[in-house]
Structure 1
Amino acid sequence: MSNSEVRPAGPRCEAAGRGAPAGQAGVLPPRAVPLGGPRAMTVRRTLPQRDRTLIGAWCFLDHYGPDDVAHTGGMDVAPHPHTGLQTVSWLFSGEIEHRDSLGSHALVRPGELNLMTGGRGISHSEVSTPRTTVLHGVQLWVALPGEHRDTGRDFRHYVPEPVRLDGADVRVFLGTLAGAASPVPTFTPLLGAELLLAPRATVALETDPAFEHGLLVDEGEVRFAGTLLRPAELGCLDAGHATLTLTNETDAPARTVLLGGTPFQEEIVMWWNFVGRSHEDIVAARQAWQNASDRFGTVDGYAGERLPAPALPHATLTPRGNTARRGADG
Structure 2
Amino acid sequence: MPRSSGRVDVHQHVLPPFYRDLLAGAGIAGVGGRALPDWSAGAALDLMDLLGITTAVVSVSAPGTGFLSDPEEAAGLARRLNDFCASLPADHPGRFGWFATLPAPGTAACAAEAERALDELGADGVVLLANNGGTYLGAEGQDALWRSLDERGATVLIHPAELPAPAVDGIPPFAADFLLDTTRAAYLLVRRGVVRRHPGIRFVLSHGGGFVPYASHRLAVTIAAEAGRSLLDVLDDFRSFYFDTALSSSPAALPSLLAFARPGHVLFGSDWPFAPAPAGQYFANGLKTGVAPKMLAAIDHANAEALFPRLGGAPAPAARTRLRHVVRRAGARVLFTLVQPGTD
* Same fold, TM-score > 0.5, yes or no: no
Of Structure 1 and Structure 2, which has the larger fraction of its residues in helix?
A: 2
Give the structure-1-normalised TM-score: 0.30
TM-score (norm 2): 0.29
Of Structure 1 and Structure 2, the greater strand share is in 1
Which structure ranks higher in relative contact order (CA pairs < 8 Å, sequence separation ≥ 6)?
1
